[in-house]
Amino acid sequence: MTSKVLVALRIKAAPLRVFEVFTADIGAWWKPNALFSFTPRSPGVLAFEGVSEWSRLVERLPSGKVFEIGPVRVWDPGRRLVFGWRQASFAPDMDTEVEVRFEPVGDETRVTVEHRGWDTVPIEHVARHRFPDTVFLQRHAEWWRALLTNLASRTAMDIKGSAREGDA
Amino acid sequence: MQRAALTSALCYRDAKAALNFLEAAFGFELTMLIEDNDGKLAHAEMGFGDSLIMIGNEWSQMHKSPASIDGFNTQTVHIHLDADIDAHCERARAAGFEILMEPEDQFYGDRTYRCRDPEGHFWTVGAPIRSVSVDEAEATSGLKVVKGWA
């Protein structure tokens, strides 16, 4: 799969913790971007349904309907997560994939998101907003960077929360 | 994400190779990479400390790597370290960088070295080792400090 964006960020927590926040708390740190909505009725709230391989990433829409963004292809807690990523407007032969890697660096985790396969979505397709290829990918990369920053903030909140519970 | 007001963007003939050798030599970390439909690098950013650097191809007729213009450089990037500069230099050497000037103490209080990466970009690296007064700096260098000595 070509036509990809890769974004990486260090987060002050252990890989397993970051993996847990990424998956279990995605509804809290995920912020929608109007340019990249999954369905015309978005935004909803994202969630991983199931907690292992064969689970799926969904968007629970305000209407109560559930849209499947993609199946989980690799679920390796603290190390690697791979899932499919489709918008409702994609034709059957269009598919993109997100791989997230969690690597320990000292007492931090380097989280790398690789979103690939945009070559399967033609530039004239509605999902691409008629942006030239590199502009579209740049906007997408900036969104992922903002999302990882949210993930970092959420992880920091979560650690403070756990510390308080530990103190009690 | 907080961004520095100034960011350098460097051109390489093989930008993907540069991402690898800059990580090996200096510990820069890839923070963004965008590839087009042909799998070619369109944009890349690497982070170091509180800064970032952009790594790109020779993306127009007027953008060249030193490797394409007989090794000439029109600017250099300086790395400010708060760490062991001699170890930094050894790491760069081990990654195949040519050391043009071995680590040396400078009159202004930094220890510095200079190197050239595999495509010919010059890099200077400095770490503060002592504070030097204006009077001492002027006396040892023969220069006149006009403005901006901390």
* Cβ within 8 Å, pair A6-B34: yes
Question: Can you give the three-state secondary structure of A99-155, one letter per residue?
Answer: EEEEEEECCEEEEEEEEECHHHCCCCCHHHCCCCHHHHHHHHHHHHHHHHHHHHHHH
ipTM for the predicted complex: 0.79
* Cβ within 8 Å, pair A119-B35: no
Give yes or no for residue A137 having a pLDDT over 70: yes
Contacts of B30 in chain A (CB under 8 A): 6, 8
Mean pLDDT rounded to a whole number for chain A: 90
The class of domain B1-57 in CATH terms is alpha beta
Per-residue tokens: B56: 């790109």
* Cβ within 8 Å, pair A7-B32: yes
Q: Which residue numbers of B have CB closer than 8 Å to A's CBs?
A: 1, 29-39, 42-43
Instruction: Please tell me the predicted confidence (pLDDT) of residue A167.
Output: 47
Q: Please, are residues B125 and B119 in contact by the beta-carbon 8 Å criterion?
A: no
pLDDT tens digits, B52-105: 999 999 999 999 999 999 999 999 999 999 999 999 999 999 999 999 999 999
Contacts of A8 in chain B (CB under 8 A): 29-32
Instruction: Please tell me the predicted confidence (pLDDT) of residue A160.
Output: 67
* Cβ within 8 Å, pair A3-B32: no
Q: How many residue contacts between A and B have a Cβ separation below 8 Å?
A: 56
Closest by Cβ to B1, choosing from A5, A6, A149: A149
Instruction: Please tell me the predicted confidence (pLDDT) of residue A164.
Output: 55
Domain ranges of chain B: 1-57, 76-144
CB-based burial label for B19 (10 Å; 0-12, 13-18, 19+): buried
Per-residue tokens: B117: 């990466």
Please indicate whether the domains covering B1-57 and B76-144 agree at the CATH topology level: yes
Give the three-class secondary structure for B145: coil
Per-residue tokens: A122: 């033609």
Give yes or no for residue A97 having a pLDDT over 90: yes
* Higher-pLDDT residue of A164, A133: A133
Classify domain B76-144 by CATH architecture: 2-Layer Sandwich (3.30)
Average of per-residue pLDDT across A82-90 = 95
CB-based burial label for A166 (10 Å; 0-12, 13-18, 19+): exposed
Cβ neighbors of A167 (< 8 A, separation 6 or more) are: none
CA distances from A131 to A35, A52, A124, B12 (A): 11, 36, 8, 26
CA distance B77 to chain A (A): 23
Write the CATH number of the domain with boundaries A5-161: 3.30.530.20
For A111, name the nearest residue in chain B, comparing CA atoms only. B31
Give the three-class secondary structure for A22: helix
pLDDT tens digits, B127-141: 999 998 989 989 899
Give yes or no for residue B115 having a pLDDT over 60: yes
| Cα–Cα distance for residue pair B66/B120, rounded to 1 Å | 5
Q: Please, are residues B92 and B26 in contact by the beta-carbon 8 Å criterion?
A: yes
CA distance A150 to chain B (A): 10
Read off the DSSP letter of residue A164.
H
Contacts of A110 in chain B (CB under 8 A): 29
